[in-house]
Amino acid sequence: MKKIKVVVVGSLNYDLILTQERLPYKGETLYADDLIQGPGGKGANQAVQCAKLGLETTLLGKVGSDRFGDALIGSMQSAGVNADKIKRKGQSGLGLVNVLYDGDYHSTILKGANYTMNIEDIENETELLKSADYIILQQEIPQFINEYIIENYNKNATLILNNAPARNVKLDTLQLLDYLVVNETEAEFMIDKKVDNIDQAFEAAQQLHSKIHTTVIITLGKSGVVLKDNKNIFHVPSHEVKAVDTTGAGDSFIGGIVYGLSQGYSINDTIHFANHVSSLTVKNKGGSESFPLLKDCVEIDRL
Ligand code: RIB
């Protein structure tokens, strides 16, 4: 069987994840219960989930020439991601994450080496990008890199943009994508209208799709997922689990989407599968280290 090739172009951050009851008020000092540290960054997380699901995954990105950079490269290799194309410069990106008792997370990132990526880094990898079946992008690297890739590599590969954190992207660039994936906050930014429930997500998906004519997927955490493509608009509920840490859940979901599509699942089954993958992720503390392997995703037998 042909090996599916996935190329993720994106960020690597060394994450420091604190669990605490709530965020501090101005001038207040709070205690956290514990610290989990390890690999993060949306690019790295999405690459790890694809690799853990058995897809041949290469990550194009940059880390610092520091100990965080060493740890990030090591953890990509241990997760089965091809890390040969990761370059090093300056200081690594960092993710400072607060996970609250309800499992919700708040994240602040230091851009670091992620923002030293340049067009030459991409031009040096033309062959790799041309050979990819799937190219996955997020917004934790310079915007011009993502635009360059979308505009130049939209012919052969299925192109997925996770517009996270949300940025304004030109409409004609968005129209070259195959999938746009956003959460409710990012959808809200893109349409400048509240997206707080399933009905509003239906409207948002409709509105975005009418402008970009590409499949729009809006993730709503425990309220599930809304998808609009050329034929359908539908909602898929999330799996009922006790979420202890939602760090990277959206990234794990995207890995699940790529797996489902690559196996020829229907779009509905693909969303069900991706929901299942991310529901396993939120059951455990930590970032990509809590992402499931393919063998853990028992629901696969149902599809
Ligand atoms: O999506 C989760 C990720 O967002 C974390 O790993 C953190 O680094 C931020 O980039």
pLDDT digits (tens, 9 = 90+) for 174-214: 999 999 999 999 999 999 999 999 999 999 999 999 999 99
C-alpha of residue 259 to centroid of ligand 1, in Å: 21
Instruction: Quote the mean pLDDT of the chain.
Output: 95
Closest ligand 1 atom to the C-alpha of 97? Answer: 7
Best residue among 8, 109, 141, 181 to mutate for probing ligand 1's pocket (most ligand atoms within 8 Å of CB) is 109
Does the pLDDT at position 1 exceed 80? no
80-94: burial string, b at 16+ Cβ within 10 Å, e else: bbbbebbebbebbbb
Q: Which of 251, 269, 296, 301 is catalytic?
A: 251
Are the CB atoms for 12 and 39 separated by under 8 Å? yes
Closest ligand 1 atom to the C-alpha of 247? Answer: 2
Query: Which amino acid would we find at residue 126?
Result: T
Best residue among 13, 16, 59, 181 to mutate for probing ligand 1's pocket (most ligand atoms within 8 Å of CB) is 13
Q: Is 245 in the active site?
A: no
pLDDT tens per residue across span 222-245: 999 999 999 999 999 998 888 888
Closest ligand 1 atom to the C-alpha of 140? Answer: 10
Query: Using alpha carbons only, how large is the chain's radius of gyration in Å?
Result: 18
- For the beta carbon of residue 170, count every other beta carbon within 10 angstroms: 12
CA–CA distance, 43 with 61 (Å, rounded to integer): 8
- Which residue has the least CA distance to atom 1 on ligand 1? 248
Lowest-pLDDT choice from 55-59, 257-261, 299-303: 299-303
- Which residue has the least CA distance to atom 6 on ligand 1? 40
Are the CB atoms for 114 and 61 separated by under 8 Å? yes
- Which residue has the least CA distance to atom 2 on ligand 1? 248
Q: Which two tokens stand for residue 100?
A: 């609250």
Which neighbouring-strand residues pair with 15? 38, 95
Query: Degrees (nearest 5) of the Cα angle 79, 85, 89?
Result: 105
Q: In the prediction, which pLDDT does 236 show? A: 97
